[in-house]
Chain A
Amino acid sequence: MTPETILIGLAGVLAAAAPVMFAVMGETISERAGIINLSMNGTILLSAMGSFAVALATDSLALGFLAGAAIGALVSLIVAFASITLKISQVATGFILALLCRDLSYFLGNPIMGQTGPRLQSAPIPGLSDIPVLGKLFFSQDVMTYASFTIILLAWVYIYKTRPGLMLQGIGERPAAAFVRGASVNRLRYLYTIIGGALIGLAGPIYSLSVKAGWKGTISGLDGIGWIALSITIFGGWNPLRAAFGAYLFAILQWLGLVLQPVLPGIPSNVLQVAPFPLMILTLLLVNIGNAEWVERTLAGMPENTRRAVAKILRAMRATPPASLGVPFESD
């Protein structure tokens, strides 16, 4: 492998992670508000198919992406209505929607199977794309990949640095306390679930109009992405920067699975393809190790200064979910 191919490979990793990134950011925002949107896997399939159909019919990429976001928003509206207004279990609703949307996408997508439609082209940024190494990596991508970089930062700044972002944390953490501070908890939960849903919906067209252009029904290879995105959200501890790290890690593992295949002929190719999944689980375990009782006990035995330092690191690494995740809110 030459440095050149590695660079191209890594640039590909960044592009391949873009749809997952949108899904993860959308889910993070929704869960921060206290609503688990478990429909993600189906939503992505349905919006991939739907946006491809729209783009095919109108020959407009923009309308295609818009359709993807709209489908995501619509599905999340159902999630929001069921869990906020009807107070039905979010897990049950989300799960049913995940299955329903998936089957719907296969069924409705039959007529457009295998057709070729418009595809998003890469748009190198003049000037910046000529910078050695970085130019190839970051500035020779397509618009949605640039957008995926931006969304990470935007989400992070919004959640941690802005006033409404603090309130967003509040309504997922302790809605009663947020209510006392003037938040219309349920209205905000609707809003963030729908925004999150639209972002999740964008993951679909990024596949079907760019990364894996076209619609190939059950062999599109998109089934399962939503569940991965869900686990990355948890891995990311509901923090956009950590979640982004998780999404890139997963994309890199998948890429390594591909490039290592010819290098390591002894290992069956399926092993390399599946390896990213257990590796993700392992990372998840490592990240959350601070929660384990035996760690706490080992820690208690350490000298005071070491103990404090280690405890601080573990605390920073530890991911605790928003305390009211999945719990409906009723103001007295």
Chain B
Amino acid sequence: MQVELRHIHKHFGAVHASNDINLTIPAGSIQGILGENGAGKSTLMKALSGFIFADSGEILLDGKPVHIASPADAINHGVGMLHQDPLDFPPMKVIDNFILGRNGGLFPDRRTAAKEFKELAVQFDFSIDPDAYVDMLTVGERQQLEILRLLWLGARALILDEPTTGISLPQKEKLFATLKKLAAQGMTIIFVSHKLEDVEFLCNRVAVLRQGQLVGEMLPPFNVDKLVEMMFGKVVSFGGRYPLTPGASTLHLEHISLEDVRLQIRDVTLDVRAGEVIGLAGMEGSGQATFLQACAGLVRPVAGKLSIKGADVTGQTHHVFKHKGVAYLPAARLEQGLVPGLSLTEHFVLAEETHGIFINRDQAIRLAQDRIKTFNIKGTPVSTVESLSGGNQQRALLALLRTPLSLILLEHPTRGLDIESTMYIWSKLKERCAQDGAAIIFISADLDEVLQYSDRVLVFFTGKVSSPLDAEKVTVEQLGQLIGGKGWEAIHA
């Protein structure tokens, strides 16, 4: 289906999030949409999929002007959107998720639906049990479920907003294969991303947005430097590796064993030194999140000893860990780290060690302005956190960290961030390593990020933990093998 956008405008208060966008996407093509955080990518996609209404402009499908009144209406027109965080119902069964939203009789026929589900799944080599519960699936599988559902509903154009940020490498490869197959069948794919290499590999045309405007389009072969310049309006130089000068022992794990319902981690011994960065690699749910939570005192080890700066804290609460200078930044920004509805100022006030009950308004606003400036957040002291774009939420979270800290634990610190923001966040983090001697342990699904910013890497595979690998001596390919469970004999030798 050919998708055409004509003169699309959208304002949010003073922000011109879409400024006269004209874009024609022929049927059967994979259109990449690039742009820095806050460029207006999601806004444009939401206008196309019925989530928001453009202030003015026209949408044409196969040459016919349409009015898209809601997301459900969009899918009736054949436009389906896959959200970064799949919009599904975790406690319900896969098959119920699949059926929900499809019109029909009072009693849905689960058996026929399951049969059709399986037939569709086989086409793309997905293996999801229709009777499984969605909360037991990985993010990648939930995406697959959504794709199948949208296809079943008759989608002829598929919008994917940053689909690769939460999924593992093999799942990404499978997703790309699926998208290519769909495009070959005449489906129009719109692929929003920050990752140039993904766009380069997958797309056969690219449009770049900057500050709400379409600054240019490109057909392959793509000139990556030119694309980056179009995205940021300037040449961005990539940082090199940061040298390490490790200091005293910060976190010491001795024969730590961890258990949760799904997996067991046995006998990990590790010494993390001040200024050091440890990257945790592995497919989602391989144990790295549990490990990180144990370092934060949120999960109690079943065996072993854990000490921070020489003090034994085994079995202590998260509160004690916090007092020892441990900070934990979870992946679900809006669920665990930030409070929707509260402004930036209120967040900064809450995060400070306060004396007394009353809040000094002026002082708080000055503090907020100060932090907004240092951390380059696009927002004002009174902006609520949910009105910020993803990249700016992450910056806000980082700005909330107290000083000094001895250990910073991060889950997907740059998920969803553009290259410039990623580099910015890491420069801020590395600053803390160098200046206050903080150590960092982080989880990332992006293997390039793991290798680029860590000093040592731990690989997780179904609860198995590798010995610390020197990040300078491991390659991305090797890491990819390891997280898939291959090549473990070699590193243990």
State the A residues within 8 Å of B (CB). Answer: 161-164, 166-167, 169-170, 173-174, 176-183, 296-297, 299-301, 311, 320, 323, 332
CA distance A210 to B213 in the complex (A): 71
B217 within 8 A of A: no
B72 within 8 A of A: yes
Given contacts A163-B105, A166-B92, A297-B302, 8 further A-B contacts (CB under 8 A): A162-B106, A170-B89, A170-B92, A173-B92, A174-B89, A182-B72, A300-B260, A300-B264
Across the interface, A163 reaches (CB within 8 A) one of B51, B90, B106, namely: B106
- Of the candidate stretches B93-101, B198-206, B364-372, the one touching chain A is B93-101
Least CB separation from B71: chain A residue: A180
CA distance A167 to B72 in the complex (A): 14
Q: Could you tell me the distance in whole angstroms from the C-beta of A178 to the nearest C-beta in chain B?
A: 8
A-chain residues with CB within 8 Å of residue B261 when the two chains form the complex: 296, 299-300, 311
A-chain residues with CB within 8 Å of residue B70 when the two chains form the complex: 179, 182
Q: Could you tell me the distance in whole angstroms from the C-beta of B315 to the nearest C-beta in chain A?
A: 12
**Are A176 and B87 within 8 A (Cβ)?**
yes
A-chain residues with CB within 8 Å of residue B71 when the two chains form the complex: 179-180, 182
B107 within 8 A of A: yes
Q: What is the 8 Å Cβ interface bit string for chain B, positions 301-321, against chain A (1 contact, 0 not)?
A: 010000000000000000000
CA distance A59 to B404 in the complex (A): 78
Q: Could you tell me the distance in whole angstroms from the C-beta of A175 to the nearest C-beta in chain B?
A: 10
Asked whether A162 and B72 contact (CB < 8 A) given A174-B87, A180-B87, the answer is no
Q: Could you tell me the distance in whole angstroms from the C-beta of A247 to the nearest C-beta in chain B?
A: 24
B-chain residues with CB within 8 Å of residue A164 when the two chains form the complex: 106
Closest 9 CB pairs of A and B: A181-B101, A182-B72, A300-B259, A177-B87, A180-B71, A173-B89, A163-B108, A166-B100, A162-B106
The range of chain B's interface size is 20 to 34
CA distance A227 to B96 in the complex (A): 33
**Are B264 and A169 within 8 A (Cβ)?**
no
CA distance A300 to B262 in the complex (A): 8
**Are A166 and B259 within 8 A (Cβ)?**
no
**Are B88 and A169 within 8 A (Cβ)?**
no
B91 within 8 A of A: yes
CA distance A296 to B70 in the complex (A): 42
CA distance A297 to B25 in the complex (A): 53
B220 within 8 A of A: no
B-chain residues with CB within 8 Å of residue A170 when the two chains form the complex: 89, 92, 100
B21 within 8 A of A: no
Asked whether A180 and B72 contact (CB < 8 A) given A170-B89, A174-B89, A296-B260, the answer is yes
B356 within 8 A of A: no
B428 within 8 A of A: no
Q: Could you tell me the distance in whole angstroms from the C-beta of A291 to the nearest C-beta in chain B?
A: 12
**Are A166 and B106 within 8 A (Cβ)?**
no
CA distance A182 to B104 in the complex (A): 13
Across the interface, A181 reaches (CB within 8 A) one of B51, B91, B100, namely: B100
CA distance A75 to B100 in the complex (A): 31
**Are B91 and A323 within 8 A (Cβ)?**
yes
A-chain residues with CB within 8 Å of residue B52 when the two chains form the complex: 332
B46 within 8 A of A: yes
Q: Could you tell me the distance in whole angstroms from the C-beta of A197 to the nearest C-beta in chain B?
A: 24
- Which of B72, B103, B261 has the largest count of A CB atoms less than 10 A from its CB? B261
15 contacts between A and B (CB under 8 A): A163-B105, A169-B96, A170-B100, A173-B89, A173-B90, A173-B91, A174-B88, A177-B88, A180-B81, A181-B72, A181-B100, A182-B72, A299-B261, A300-B261, A311-B261
A-chain residues with CB within 8 Å of residue B108 when the two chains form the complex: 162-163, 166
A-chain residues with CB within 8 Å of residue B91 when the two chains form the complex: 173, 320, 323
B-chain residues with CB within 8 Å of residue A183 when the two chains form the complex: 101
B-chain residues with CB within 8 Å of residue A163 when the two chains form the complex: 99, 104-108
Q: Could you tell me the distance in whole angstroms from the C-beta of A328 to the nearest C-beta in chain B?
A: 11
Q: Could you tell me the distance in whole angstroms from the C-beta of B333 to the nearest C-beta in chain A?
A: 16
Q: Could you tell me the distance in whole angstroms from the C-beta of B132 to the nearest C-beta in chain A?
A: 12
**Are A169 and B89 within 8 A (Cβ)?**
yes
B-chain residues with CB within 8 Å of residue A177 when the two chains form the complex: 87-89
A-chain residues with CB within 8 Å of residue B46 when the two chains form the complex: 332
B-chain residues with CB within 8 Å of residue A178 when the two chains form the complex: 100-101
Across the interface, A167 reaches (CB within 8 A) one of B81, B100, B105, B264, namely: B100
A-chain residues with CB within 8 Å of residue B51 when the two chains form the complex: 332
Q: Could you tell me the distance in whole angstroms from the C-beta of B187 to the nearest C-beta in chain A?
A: 19
CA distance A299 to B261 in the complex (A): 7
Q: What is the 8 Å Cβ interface bit string for chain B, positions 325-357, against chain A (1 contact, 0 not)?
A: 000000000000000000000000000000000
CA distance A306 to B360 in the complex (A): 57
CA distance A235 to B51 in the complex (A): 37
CA distance A32 to B368 in the complex (A): 40
**Are B101 and A180 within 8 A (Cβ)?**
yes
Across the interface, B92 reaches (CB within 8 A) one of A169, A181, A182, namely: A169
A-chain residues with CB within 8 Å of residue B89 when the two chains form the complex: 169-170, 173-174, 177
